[in-house]
Structure 1
Amino acid sequence: MPAVISDAPARRTGPRRLHPADIAAVGVLVIVCAVALATFRDFGMGWDDYAHAEYGGLLLRLYDSGFTDRRALSFVNLYAYGGGFDMLAALLAKVLPFELFETRRLVGAIIGIAGLAMTWRIARRLGGPIAGFVAVTLLATCPLWIGHMFVNPKDVPFAVAMLAATLGFVRAFSEYPKPHVPTVALLGLGLGLSFGSRVMGALAAVPTAAAFLLIVVAEARRQGVRDAVRRAGEFLLRLMPAVIVSYALMALIWPWSVVSPLNPVKALVYFSHFFEKPWRELFEGELLWVVDMPRRYVPELFALQTPELFWALGIAGVVAALASAAHGDRPLNRRASLVFLAVSAVFPIAFAVITRPAMYNGIRHFVFVLPPAAVLGGLVGALLVSRAAATEGRRTAIAAAALAVMLVHPIVTMIRIHPYQYAYFNALAGGLQGADGRFMRDYWGLSMKQAAQALRAELAKRGELPTGKTKRHVAICGPQRPVRVELGKAYPTDWQPQGGEFAISLNEFYCAKLDAPVIAEVVRDGVVFARVYDIRGRNLETLLTPLPP
């Protein structure tokens, strides 16, 4: 009988030995940890960082004040999001020897690495050690994941929370219809963190329903409807404590959600419609309104912003998982888990293609799709390797060698474009140079930190640093907060160039290329991310590019 990815890994008899692929997977995690510790201070602030930091502080004050300081419950629109990440970072900033925004970068890295570990565990559980090794390697070398885990306070924490729920569901289906207490607790933790991060946690209902229905229908055919319904009822009843745990955890990290029983529904309605004034972004070389992006926006950017091996194995994994799940002679609980993962990877993208919501900031809102795709890719990778060698050691060596060869481009590119890994484009897009002028790159303005540092270094070289009596006024096209945090009060900033001595400008379509001397540039892979101008003596009316109405 041919091997399929629904086959369970072989059970060992006798003393347990550490599998070579497990050693390799742990090695990947150790390398990522070392890189994170060495580089987390390099990453800049984005447009929303300061607001999120304020939100975390307000949430702590809500609890410290005994719920008398309720500003967090109406703070801009962030009250409609959970604040678990922001609170955790604010708390750790009080005890760690780093300033607040460095702490936020470190916390983001820790959460992202936790997601890598869970990806490994899920793939290993379903496909064995080599599947786990391939899966964690795929995700650890995906620039979209690595770049966002340092800087994204919303989407990566949500993705990791969804991963915890995924691991809980995979365990629950494997123990059907009597999930164990640790599994129920894990599931409650994952669901609580998911809903407590973003109301989009409701998306987990679709893969859950698909997997659950597969089990119920299959058992009804084999054992009769009555027995299938009885077992399904027992399963759901045993999962009820997870609902209680998840609601309590959601209330803790998203207090607005329980101020009124219908607030989660209000948040869902709020986010189901575009809630801001529309703006334009660059896609395929055209300036398009974010509410008018074409249906191909998400799948095309996935194809261009993830390594080719990642999406190739991911797509193959989805197809193989669904094909394996269709085999009625395979273990039913494993088939359900495969359906859960396949739907988790495909449904959010398909839903965006069908409904065509407002789409912007690349595919950061879909980062949570990457881990299930990596797990499925790991299962396919393990299947391919199993056909290439007979011994475990040789299979691991072949997997490691193949991954090293095929992932060298994204790894080298991540090193070259550091700390802007989230702006990665693969060889199909022509790399960063091919994407320049065609797609958004530094849409969060992370390069403002390095641009501010470049300005200070240039002024130091010229002997023009501000003194106690003088200040250096800086005009900004991009987020101002990163420059203020990096340079301090001696460098007042403004949106307008009038009265400014220097200008820092993102190299995105909305910032004009100024008729002024360029004194510094932030460049990666031959592409300019930001420029620093000397605008003294220049009569500039605006830093913005005139746009058509």
Structure 2
Amino acid sequence: MTEKRWTGYKQAIAKLAAVMVTIAVIGCLTVHDYGVSWDELYGTNSVWWNLNRITRNEPIPGIFEYDGTVFNVATETVFQVQKKVGKLLSGSQERSERLLSRQRFESKHAMTFLTALLLYLLVAVIVGLLCGAEFAWLGPVTLALFPRVWGHGFFNFKDIPFAALFTLCTLIGAYWVAQWTTNPASPNHASSNHAPEAPRKRFPIGRDRATLAAIGYGVCVGLLTGVRAAGLVVIGLPLLAYCLMQVSQRKAIRLADVLINFIPAVLTTFIVATVCYPSSWSNPIVWFYRALTVLSNYGWDGKVLFNGEFFEPRSLPWAYVPTWIGISVPVIFQVAFVLGLVILMQKYRRFSPLQQACIVLLLLQIFLLPTLAVVRRSVIYGEIRHFLFIMPGIAAIAAAAFIWTYQALPKPSLKWASLGFLAVVLLSLGVEMAALHPYEYLYFNRVSGGLPAANQRFETDYWGLSLRQGMEWINQHDRHPVLVGGPLHSAEVFADEDVALRSFAERKLPPNLKKPFYYLSMYGGNRQFQSYFQECPTLYQVTRQEVPLAIVRRCE
């Protein structure tokens, strides 16, 4: 590497490091601002529930048998270490159950944000691969300005780790596929029409790059499956990408050789995924087949609010996913993504095999699984949460489009004007996210009418994080009992020790609950908890952009 190139490489690393440190500092300063979501109680307790059943040789009930363990076990392990260290430092001082629960959730939020940081870094690698290392820093900046990704990056313990591992699979898979398509006689070979290809050797299984990439990919897919069992389907994406690349360039598909090289990946995936699911140990082959069957027919008995109407999860219009992408992704990134796709098609044949493999796998990550979900009428709910894994690819292609467009501008004045325009748009987006904090995941773009237009038409605070702010308001007032319309734990961990809470999640009034009491409720969405106790005066509302997210009523 020449001195000039090494200097440029160091400058690229410095820029990326500065961006990543900035994102990390902002996240660390705000991670404890977020409430606790509806799903998090199970995520924190499932480790012990399932462990106790396994040790007693009892079956794990229902769908929980197939629920991911990797992230839950990792975060619970970290919390237990923190708990023991804290106990050593504070002596024998006991902490209340509420305080312990809150600390457990806070620990999980911190771990979720660390996973989000990995996701930002992976997008930087993709942008650097497509556009050059000096531009890698723009990748995490772009993804961090996807408000829903930023917001979910603090509490969504399923979909953020899944997105991070899926993106890591894409990168490792791209390197692996490149080993199949690169001429061994010319490792840096890019698409060329000048010389015939040299004879290719068979792919060995041993200590070579293709085998190491296969093993690495298998480990990553195994961990991905350990987060969500459905991640198992990702194992076949490199093979599909390879076939698409060869067909597009009218080259022979060496299927037999590739399938032989797949053996280490399949075996590694199977071993890692089996370790992640103790319930599969007695008969893992049957278990994984049953898992895919059960999950593909998974039923959810709730209703989904979409465009002002309530639907059964399997009866959603085909436009559900595209609509959510259209209203929740900032318009500037949607335009850039479409422009990026056009430029990718124009530049594709000039890319190296590694770049081509990355592009194809990235497009499969964005389009394939959402398309299959729509075609198969899979159960979808909870706004865009199940498809957060497509956002890194959209962000990477959008960032690449910014870079390529900037490079194509002929005059310095146009380049400065484009930089100024982009800076203003991104700054205004950052200001809007700050105004929504800590509910950035409620972002709706301006073309859709923003959060006010989405109120009562789409899910807003589906997760129930705003119950925290309502509970903190109650803490400052009378010590009456609190009836919670929503997840009880989302309010309870923030309640003072002398405040009694009861659950209204099943819409049944608890026995022996006497007036006066507060009714703390989620607002809107598919549950409509705010429609109860309307005879009681509303004392407080948690709002953003004048849209209520949670309410406090006093019944007496």
1:300 aligns with 2:323: yes
Bigger shift: residues 204-213 or 409-418: 204-213
Quickly say closer, same or farther: Cα 1:19–1:296, change in 2 above 3 A: farther
Gaps of 5+ in 1: 1-9, 466-471, 537-549
**Structure 1 match to 2:383:** 362
1:68 aligns with 2:55: yes
In 1, distance between residues paired with 2:280 and 2:337?
35
Checking the alignment, whether the CA contact within 8 Å between 1:477 and 1:505 is kept in structure 2 is yes
1:421 aligned to 440, 444, 461, which one?
Answer: 440
In 1, distance between residues paired with 2:238 and 2:6?
36
**Structure 2 match to 1:103:** 107
SS in 2 for 1:520: strand
1:511 aligns with 2:529: yes
1:444 aligned to 463, 466, 478, which one?
Answer: 463
In 2, distance between residues paired with 1:69 and 1:402?
63
Bigger shift: residues 233-242 or 435-444: 233-242
Bigger shift: residues 245-254 or 316-325: 316-325
SS in 1 for 2:314: helix
Q: What does the per-residue CA deviation read over 1:161-185, in whole Å, with 9 as the maximum and x for residues that have no partner?
A: 1111111011112333663565344
SS in 2 for 1:504: strand
In 2, distance between residues paired with 1:218 and 1:148?
37
1:91-490 to structure 2, matched below 5 A, reads 91-96=77-82, 99-129=103-133, 131-176=135-180, 179-180=209-210, 183-204=213-234, 207-217=237-247, 221=250, 225=252, 229=254, 232-260=255-283, 261-277=285-301, 279-325=302-348, 327=349, 331-388=352-409, 401-457=420-476, 459=477, 464-465=478-479, 472-487=480-495, 488=497, 490=499
Report how far residue 422 of structure 1 moved.
1.2
Checking the alignment, whether the CA contact within 8 Å between 2:487 and 2:503 is kept in structure 1 is no
Quickly say closer, same or farther: Cα 1:139–1:448, change in 2 above 3 A: same
In 1, distance between residues paired with 2:235 and 2:345?
18
**Structure 1 match to 2:96:** none
Checking the alignment, whether the CA contact within 8 Å between 2:177 and 2:238 is kept in structure 1 is no
1:47 aligns with 2:38: yes
In 1, distance between residues paired with 2:258 and 2:130?
21
* 2:122 partner amino acid: M
In 2, distance between residues paired with 1:271 and 1:245?
22
In 2, distance between residues paired with 1:390 and 1:206?
45
Report how far residue 268 of structure 1 moved.
1.5
Q: What does the per-residue CA deviation read over 1:200-255, in whole Å, with 9 as the maximum and x for residues that have no partner?
A: 22443564333210344467x55xx5xx52xx544443443333332222123222
* 1:511 partner amino acid: F
In 1, distance between residues paired with 2:351 and 2:536?
69
Checking the alignment, whether the CA contact within 8 Å between 1:45 and 1:449 is kept in structure 2 is yes
Report how far residue 105 of structure 1 moved.
0.6
Structure 1 vs Structure 2: percent identity of aligned residues? 23
In 1, distance between residues paired with 2:444 and 2:453?
8
In 2, distance between residues paired with 1:83 and 1:357?
23
In 2, distance between residues paired with 1:94 and 1:288?
41
Checking the alignment, whether the CA contact within 8 Å between 1:46 and 1:446 is kept in structure 2 is yes
Checking the alignment, whether the CA contact within 8 Å between 2:235 and 2:266 is kept in structure 1 is no
Quickly say closer, same or farther: Cα 1:288–1:239, change in 2 above 3 A: closer
In 2, distance between residues paired with 1:100 and 1:474?
23
**Structure 2 match to 1:540:** none
Quickly say closer, same or farther: Cα 1:200–1:473, change in 2 above 3 A: same
Report how far residue 473 of structure 1 moved.
1.9
Gaps of 5+ in 2: 87-101, 182-202, 204-208
Report how far residue 199 of structure 1 moved.
2.4
Quickly say closer, same or farther: Cα 1:489–1:244, change in 2 above 3 A: farther
Quickly say closer, same or farther: Cα 1:170–1:84, change in 2 above 3 A: same
1:84 aligns with 2:84: no
1:528 aligns with 2:548: yes
Quickly say closer, same or farther: Cα 1:60–1:88, change in 2 above 3 A: farther
Checking the alignment, whether the CA contact within 8 Å between 2:8 and 2:134 is kept in structure 1 is no
**Structure 1 match to 2:186:** none
Bigger shift: residues 43-52 or 360-369: 43-52
* 1:422 partner amino acid: Y
Quickly say closer, same or farther: Cα 1:120–1:340, change in 2 above 3 A: same
**Structure 2 match to 1:6:** none
In 2, distance between residues paired with 1:55 and 1:264?
20
Report how far residue 36 of structure 1 moved.
1.5
* 2:330 partner amino acid: P
Bigger shift: residues 373-382 or 486-495: 486-495
SS in 2 for 1:74: coil
* 2:514 partner amino acid: G
Checking the alignment, whether the CA contact within 8 Å between 1:210 and 1:339 is kept in structure 2 is no
In 1, distance between residues paired with 2:282 and 2:162?
22
* 1:446 partner amino acid: L
Checking the alignment, whether the CA contact within 8 Å between 1:44 and 1:448 is kept in structure 2 is yes
1:492 aligns with 2:501: yes
In 2, distance between residues paired with 1:400 and 1:85?
39
Q: Work out the number of aligned pairs and report it.
A: 498
Report how far residue 433 of structure 1 moved.
1.2
TM-score, structure 2 length as denominator? 0.82
Quickly say closer, same or farther: Cα 1:324–1:59, change in 2 above 3 A: farther
Checking the alignment, whether the CA contact within 8 Å between 1:158 and 1:193 is kept in structure 2 is no
Quickly say closer, same or farther: Cα 1:499–1:44, change in 2 above 3 A: same
1:56 aligns with 2:75: no
SS in 2 for 1:191: helix
Quickly say closer, same or farther: Cα 1:517–1:310, change in 2 above 3 A: same
In 2, distance between residues paired with 1:119 and 1:420?
23
In 1, distance between residues paired with 2:46 and 2:66?
11
* 2:67 partner amino acid: Y
* 2:227 partner amino acid: S
In 1, distance between residues paired with 2:75 and 2:31?
14
Q: What does the per-residue CA deviation read over 1:292-334, in whole Å, with 9 as the maximum and x for residues that have no partner?
A: 2211111011011111122222233334434544x4x654443
**Structure 2 match to 1:30:** 21
Report how far residue 522 of structure 1 moved.
1.0
Bigger shift: residues 298-307 or 187-196: 187-196
CA RMSD of aligned residues (A): 2.9
Checking the alignment, whether the CA contact within 8 Å between 2:518 and 2:555 is kept in structure 1 is yes
Q: What does the per-residue CA deviation read over 1:438-463, in whole Å, with 9 as the maximum and x for residues that have no partner?
A: 11100111111111111112x1xxxx
Q: What does the per-residue CA deviation read over 1:265-313, in whole Å, with 9 as the maximum and x for residues that have no partner?
A: 2121212124232x32322122333332211111011011111122222
Checking the alignment, whether the CA contact within 8 Å between 1:274 and 1:358 is kept in structure 2 is yes
Quickly say closer, same or farther: Cα 1:14–1:522, change in 2 above 3 A: closer
Checking the alignment, whether the CA contact within 8 Å between 1:484 and 1:493 is kept in structure 2 is no
Report how far residue 52 of structure 1 moved.
1.3
